[in-house]
Amino acid sequence: MRLHKEGLATILISTAITAVVLWLTILLIAPRYPILGWIIGIGIVGLLIFILSFFRIPNRSYVDDQDVIVAPCDGTVVVIEEVQPDEYFTDRRLQLSIFMSPLNVHVNRNPVSGEVLYSQYHKGKYLVAWHPKSSTDNERHSVVYKHREKELLVKQIAGALAKRIVNYLKPGDVVKQGGEMGFIKFGSRVDLLLPLDAKVDVKINQKVKGGVTVLARW
């Protein structure tokens, strides 16, 4: 396991704050109130461990199969329904949404190999990620991939806690399935808009792993 580059500044600041709090606790609080000192020490170290785990990149074997669409992130499947897209596509699509909790791995990965046709950032609100309007009203970044002759859209959506979306792709890029497409800090969701004839392999409330779990087949 390693740590993601997007977490470098956060980790350095968090480590410095942890060190200062521990030093002050040992110097000023622990001698008079040892139990409180232990509580503060364990709490601040636990928070640092949580932040480190948030930026983790676990060792995994990623799927490489041109006939499938893999999960772009870790999380829980919360939506599988037919929708009318609000951007790029004019035809109806199959929406599959994955909710990412703060405990999930937050690296976002390419669900397919192919060419990036569209990459667009949208300003917006910060509704909770499971809100029905978060897909269209929240801050988000949308990417359209062309795989063979078919196209799909992946939308990174900010939530109430996620205030920063990072996306590395631009139109014209040729990407590999399982490669990094971006990162969302501190919990949110990712939507996929698939062709209606895609054969879905997952169910509502199913846990998925980015780059590993097969969501659908062409």
Give the DSSP per-residue string, 134-190.
HHHHB-EEEEEEEETTEEEEEEEE--SS---EEE---TT-EE-TTSEEEEESSSEEE
Mode of pairing for the β-strands spanning 2-3 and 180-184: unpaired
Q: How far apart are CA 200 and CA 44, in angstroms?
A: 43
Residue 113 is a catalytic residue: no
Angstrom distances, CA of residue 161 to CA of 7, 139, 184, 185, 187 = 16, 12, 10, 8, 6
Radius of gyration of the chain (CA): 20
Catalytic residue from among 97, 119, 134, 188 = 188
Q: Which residues are catalytic?
A: 188
